[in-house]
Amino acid sequence: MTERVSCYRSHLLTELERACLLLTGVGTAVRSAMKKEVQQLLLEARLNCVKVSQAAADLKQFCLQNAQHDPLLTGVSSSTNPFRPQKVCSFL
């Protein structure tokens, strides 16, 4: 399935590049914008696709491995907390 998708993507991108080259009568701003779009599509076509279930499993594993270092989960001791309320000094 992924081979078909990547083959389709590369074919589509080749056609887009060809269309950009044929647009010689179009203004330079439009041509430049289309070139940028084709470059972005080429970049995206080279990315490896990951299934959502696999990405979610990897993210869950990362969170579980690093939970002990997360101050939102473990809390911060009041002595090292830079945002603790300041003590008020009063002179009599």
pLDDT digits (tens, 9 = 90+) for 8-46: 666 666 776 676 666 656 677 777 888 888 888 888 888
Answer yes or no: is 82 within a domain.
no
- pLDDT for 65: 95
Answer yes or no: is 45 within a domain.
yes
Q: What is the DSSP letter of 92?
A: -
Answer yes or no: is 77 within a domain.
no
Q: Say how many domains are in the chain.
A: 1
Answer yes or no: is 6 within a domain.
yes
What is the C-alpha to C-alpha distance for residues 19 and 41, in angstroms, rounded to an integer? 14
Answer yes or no: is 60 within a domain.
yes
Residue 14: domain span: 2-67
- pLDDT for 6: 59
> 62-72, pLDDT tens digit by residue?
999 999 988 88
Answer yes or no: is 40 within a domain.
yes
Cβ atoms within 10 Å of 18's Cβ, excluding its own: 9
With a CB cutoff of 8 Å and minimum separation 6, the contacts of 37 are 16
